[in-house]
């Protein structure tokens, strides 16, 4: 990353690995459980959060010196809600099909604790450029986990990826189904998202023991 | 010393200012984009209706509407007549597809109100389709459908949609594998209106028997499936008197 100084680059790379908002800070779990039954939904959600967090962090950062501390949480909520509603309206007007896919997640974006967390922890104390990088980094870190979980849940639960039957046809018994393989419907339910997420956390911590908390 | 931004008066002014700015920003965006959004919704309705009668760009596995650029022409080409049924009164109305089913359902709770039932009559390859828009409740929110029938109330095609069913589970009612199961399914049994039940564990998962008034349910979506069953039963029943008049004429 020649464009960014080492410190700035860390703002993007850290949340992707050792400071991941989902697996290390355990934020944004609710939406990670709710929407990862399909890969497509995971990707759409990841892009939506990227957009909202990137811009929201900049807006909050620009306002950081004028926001009264007593009502800062409400101000943050209003900024997220406004951004999300504007995005939703623009999509409805110019990309109607996409907006229908996204409609379920609009509420979830507003309540996503990663967004509030980054506003509160970073944007309120840093300049707009840094806040922007932090927003992008954290939403990418969130998106990566979402996509990993979504990938496994859709593959093992429905035998498809992005709707394509990659494992063959379960009714006509082609592909791996010819050998007696069955889809695991349990993968589509929320508890399995938690278990898949747990496995991701396990792998991550076994590779880097510095991440294991003392008890 | 107290910071300027900690004062109550500042906080209050900030809050008022923020509400005014955000409020007008949202109001402006919403009203500026409203015509586009309305147009998109209108086009979507036409696409849904055409989809139900088999006018679509479906490829092997996924449901694809006719393009937004051709939908208006196709709609006027295939939909020959739009009628509104209100009790015994039947009127023709070229904008019947814009009738808000939700509003009609709410208004009909008042017993003195005679609900408007829109029905679209389409023709394709010499066959006549009667397409009814219906609406019901899923697990989380509204579900709705356009059901194309022939004069004997045998389903010729259906398009289902939903507002907020669970992705991967209930949301799959708008997938081909579910919607296509309805094609050819009978709504009547022995001449009486029965509806179609979205049934779990029925003996006919590949849906070979079209007269059993059952289609196979989606695993993990019991409540959405029950919603579909209830919607088909109560809403399409209202059209039965009209279909009787088709037989006597």
Instruction: Nearest chain A residue to B62 by CA: give it.
Output: A163
Instruction: Nearest chain B residue to A37 by CA: give it.
Output: B168
| Distance in Å, alpha carbon of B47 to nearest chain A alpha carbon | 12
Percent of chain A with pLDDT over 70: 96
Hey, is the C-beta of B6 within 8 angstroms of any chain A C-beta? Answer: yes
> What are the DSSP calls for chain B, one per residue?
---GGGSHHHHHHHHHHHHHHHHHHHHHHHHHHHHHHHHHHHHHHHHHHHHHTT-S---SSS--PPPTTTHHHHHHHHEEEEEEEETTEEEE-TTGGG--HHHHHHHTTSTT----EEEEEEEETTEEEEEEEEEEE-SSSEEEEEEEE-TT-BEEEEEEEESSPPTTTGGGGGSHHHHGGGTT-BSEETTEE---EEESS-S-TT---TTSSEEEPPTT-HHHHHHHHHHHHHHHHTTHHHHHHHHH-
Contacts of A153 in chain B (CB under 8 A): 168
Number of domains observed in the structure of chain B: 1
Q: Is residue B11 part of a domain?
A: no
Whether the per-residue pLDDT at B3 is higher than 80: the answer is: no
Measured CA distances, B40 to A86, A115, B66, B78 (Å) = 17, 31, 14, 20
Q: So what's the pLDDT on residue A3?
A: 66
Q: Do B29 and A188 touch (CB under 8 A)?
A: no
Q: Do A78 and B10 touch (CB under 8 A)?
A: no
Instruction: Choose the mutation target among A96, A110, A167, A173 for the interface with B, i.e. most B CBs under 10 Å.
Output: A96
Instruction: Choose the mutation target among A104, A106, A107, A161 for the interface with B, i.e. most B CBs under 10 Å.
Output: A104
For residues A26 and A117, the answer to whether their CB atoms sit within 8 Å is: no
What are the tokens at A191? 């508890």
Q: Is residue B102 part of a domain?
A: yes
Contacts of B11 in chain A (CB under 8 A): 68, 70-71
> Which residue range(s) make up the domain with B225?
46-248
Q: Do B22 and A41 touch (CB under 8 A)?
A: no
For residues A123 and A83, the answer to whether their CB atoms sit within 8 Å is: no
For residues A68 and B6, the answer to whether their CB atoms sit within 8 Å is: yes
Q: Is residue B191 part of a domain?
A: yes
For residues B214 and B189, the answer to whether their CB atoms sit within 8 Å is: no
Q: Do A94 and B36 touch (CB under 8 A)?
A: yes
Q: Is residue B5 part of a domain?
A: no
Q: Is residue B29 part of a domain?
A: no
- What is the tens place of the pLDDT at every residue in A160-183? 888 788 887 777 777 788 887 888
- What is the tens place of the pLDDT at every residue in B123-143? 999 899 999 999 999 998 999
Q: How far apart are CA A176 and CA B74, in angstroms?
A: 42
Q: Is residue B28 part of a domain?
A: no
Q: How far apart are CA A163 and CA B168, in angstroms?
A: 10
Among the partner-chain residues B62, B168, B219, the one whose CB lies closest to the CB of A37 is: B168
Q: Is residue B1 part of a domain?
A: no
Q: Of B7-21, B40-54, B121-135, B160-174, which gets the smallest average pLDDT?
A: B160-174
Mean pLDDT of B82-102: 89
Among the partner-chain residues A82, A93, A188, the one whose CB lies closest to the CB of B26 is: A82
Q: Do B164 and A41 touch (CB under 8 A)?
A: no
ipTM computed for the complex = 0.70
Q: How far apart are CA B116 and CA B103, in angstroms?
A: 10
* 3-state secondary structure at position A164: strand
Annotate A117-153 with b (16+ C-beta within 10 A) or e (fewer). bbbeebbbebebebbbbbbbbbbbbbbbbbbbbbbbb
Q: Is residue B200 part of a domain?
A: yes
Contacts of B169 in chain A (CB under 8 A): 37, 188
């Amino acid at each position: 990353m020649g464009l960014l100084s080492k410190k700035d680059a860390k703002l993007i790379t850290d949340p992707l690995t050792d400071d991941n908002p989902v697996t290390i800070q355990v934020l944004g779990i609710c939406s990670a459980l709710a929407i990862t039954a399909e890969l497509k939904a995971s990707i759409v959600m990841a892009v939506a959060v990227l957009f909202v967090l990137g811009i929201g962090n900049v807006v909050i950062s620009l306002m950081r010196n004028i926001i009264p501390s007593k009502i800062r949480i409400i101000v943050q909520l209003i900024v997220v809600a406004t951004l999300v509603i504007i995005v939703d309206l623009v999509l409805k007007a110019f990309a109607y099909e996409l907006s229908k896919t996204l409609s379920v997640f609009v509420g979830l974006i507003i309540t996503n604790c990663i967004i509030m967390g980054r506003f509160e922890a970073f944007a309120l104390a840093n300049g707009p450029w840094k806040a922007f990088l932090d927003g992008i980094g954290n939403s990418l870190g969130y998106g990566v986990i979402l996509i990993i979980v979504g990938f496994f849940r859709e593959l093992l639960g429905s035998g498809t990826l992005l709707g394509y039957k990659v494992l063959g046809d379960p009714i006509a018994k082609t592909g791996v189904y010819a050998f007696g393989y069955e889809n695991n419907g349990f993968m589509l339910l929320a508890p399995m998202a938690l278990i898949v997420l747990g496995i991701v956390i396990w792998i991550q911590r076994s590779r880097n023991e510095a991440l294991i908390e003392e008890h | 010393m107290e910071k300027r931004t900690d004062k109550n008066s500042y906080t209050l002014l900030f809050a008022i200012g923020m509400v005014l700015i955000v409020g007008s920003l949202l109001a402006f965006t919403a009203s500026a984009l409203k015509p586009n959004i309305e147009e998109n919704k209108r086009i979507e309705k036409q696409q849904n209706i055409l989809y139900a009668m088999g006018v679509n760009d479906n490829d092997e596995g996924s449901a694809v509407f006719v393009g937004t650029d051709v939908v208006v022409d196709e709609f006027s080409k295939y939909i020959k007549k739009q009628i509104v049924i209100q009790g015994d009164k039947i009127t023709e109305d070229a904008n019947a597809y814009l009738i808000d089913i939700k509003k009609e359902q709410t208004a009909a709770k008042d017993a003195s109100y005679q609900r408007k039932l829109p029905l679209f009559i389409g023709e394709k390859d010499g066959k006549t389709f009667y397409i009814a828009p219906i609406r019901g409740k899923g697990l989380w929110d509204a579900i709705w459908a356009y059901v194309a029938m022939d004069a004997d109330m045998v389903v010729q095609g259906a398009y289902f949609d939903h507002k907020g069913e669970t992705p991967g589970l209930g949301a799959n009612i708008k997938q081909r594998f579910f919607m296509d199961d309805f094609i050819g399914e009978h709504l009547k049994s022995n001449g009486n209106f029965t509806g179609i039940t979205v049934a779990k564990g029925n003996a006919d998962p590949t849906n070979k028997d079209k007269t059993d008034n059952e289609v196979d349910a989606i695993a993990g979506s019991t409540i959405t499936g029950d919603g579909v069953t209830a919607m088909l039963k109560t809403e399409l029943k209202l059209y039965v008197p009209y279909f009787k008049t088709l037989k006597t004429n």
